[in-house]
Amino acid sequence: MIAAGRRPLEDRPFLWLAPLLLLLAVLYLYPLVDVTRLSLTDATDAATPAHYTFASYRSVIGSAEFLAMTRVTVVFVAASIAGQLVFGMLIAALVCEGERRHLPGAAIVRAIVLVGWVLPGVVIGIIWKLLLDESGAGIVAYAASLMGARNPTFLSAPVPALFWVTIANIWRGTAFSMIMQYAGMKTVPPELYEAAIVDGAGILQQFRYVTLPSLRGILLINLVLITIATLNTFDMVLPLTGGGPGRATEVIALYIYHLVFSEFQFGRGAAVAVVLMAIGLALSACYARMLQRGRTA
C-alpha cells in the first residue's frame, strides 16, 4: 500500500481533470454564484455600482408581467412536452415496428425527423415564420383558406401566436424524444412480445402491457430533459414572434433577456434567472436520482 502522499502524480485523477474543473469553476459555478448575488442587488448596467436589496424579487415576482409570463411559459412548456412525448413515442413505435417487420424506409423516416433537430433554433424560427406568412402566398394560410378560413391569423394575434410557437417547438423537439424512446424500445427483449402474442395480445395491448411498462425509466428521464430544454427555449422564439404580439409569447428566457438588455433592470433580470436556475437545478437533481437508480437496479 502506497502512502497517501506518495501516490505518483500521474495517478491522481484530479490532476487530469484540472483543466475541465477549472474551466467549469470559472465559467459555470462562479457565474451561478454571481448571478445569485446580482439578484440581491439593484444593479442596472455594468458601469453603475449596485446596492444590496431584496427589492428585485419583491417587485418582480409581484408584478403583473411576471404573472403573465408565468402563464405563457406554463402553457408553452406543458403543451410542448405533451406533444413531444406523444409524437416521439408514436414515431419511435412506428420505426421500431417497421424494423421488426424488416420494412425498408424506417431509417429514412428516423433521419428525416432528426434533421429538424440538428437545425439551429434561429433557423427553425425563420422557417416557421415563412410557413406562417399571413398573406395569400403563405402556405399554411393557403391551406387554411382551402378549409374555409378567411383571413386567418397565426402570429399576429396572441392566442394563435402561442399555439404556433408551441407547434414549432414540438416540431423541433420531437426528434429527441423519438430517439430516446426508440433506444428504449430496442432494449425490450423480443421474448416479451412473443409471450404476449402467445397470450393473444393485439398490437395495442402489446404496447400497453409490454412497451409502456418497459419504457417507464426512459420516459421519466425524457420528461425531465425536455422540460428543461423547453424552459430554456430562447433562440427559436426570437425570429418567430420576438415574444409578441405584445407579450403573448414571452417565455421565461425572453423575459429575462428583455429585463436585462432592453429595460436595463439587471437585478430583476438576475432574480428571474435565479428562479429559472432553481427550477433547472431541481430538475437536474431528479434526473441524477433517476440515473443512479437506473445504475443500481
Q: Which three cell numbers stand for residue 76?
A: 408553452
Stretch that binds another protein, among 52-60, 91-99, 188-196, 243-251 (CB under 8 A): 91-99
295 lies in the binding site for another protein (CB under 8 A): yes
> Considering CB under 8 A, how many residues would be counted as binding another protein?
105
Nearer to another protein, 57 or 266 (CB): 266
Nearer to another protein, 248 or 275 (CB): 275
Three-class secondary structure of residue 285 per DSSP: helix
- CB of 120 vs another protein, minimal distance in Å: 3
What's the CA gap between 271 and 121, in Å, rounded?
A: 26
220 lies in the binding site for another protein (CB under 8 A): no
Nearest CA to 182 among 114, 105, 89? 89
Please report, as residue ranges, which positions from 221 to 250 form the binding site for another protein (by CB under 8 A): 221, 225, 228, 231-232, 234-235, 238-239
Please report, as residue ranges, which positions from 162 to 201 form the binding site for another protein (by CB under 8 A): 171, 179-180, 182-184, 186-187
Q: What is the DSSP letter of 52?
A: B
133 lies in the binding site for another protein (CB under 8 A): yes
Q: Look at the chain and count its residues.
A: 297
Q: Which three cell numbers stand for residue 62?
A: 409581484
Please report, as residue ranges, which positions from 33 to 52 form the binding site for another protein (by CB under 8 A): 34-35, 38, 46
Three-class secondary structure of residue 70 per DSSP: helix
115 lies in the binding site for another protein (CB under 8 A): yes
149 lies in the binding site for another protein (CB under 8 A): no
17 lies in the binding site for another protein (CB under 8 A): yes
- CB of 56 vs another protein, minimal distance in Å: 13
DSSP codes joined into one string, 88-133: HHHHHHHHHHHHHTT-TTHHHHHHHHHHHHHS-HHHHHHHHHHHT-
Q: Contacting another protein (CB under 8 A), which of 116, 152, 160, 244?
A: 116
What's the CA gap between 158 and 154, in Å, rounded?
A: 9
Nearer to another protein, 178 or 248 (CB): 178
Indicate the burial class of 59 (C-beta count within 10 angstroms; 0-12, 13-18, 19 or more). Answer: middle
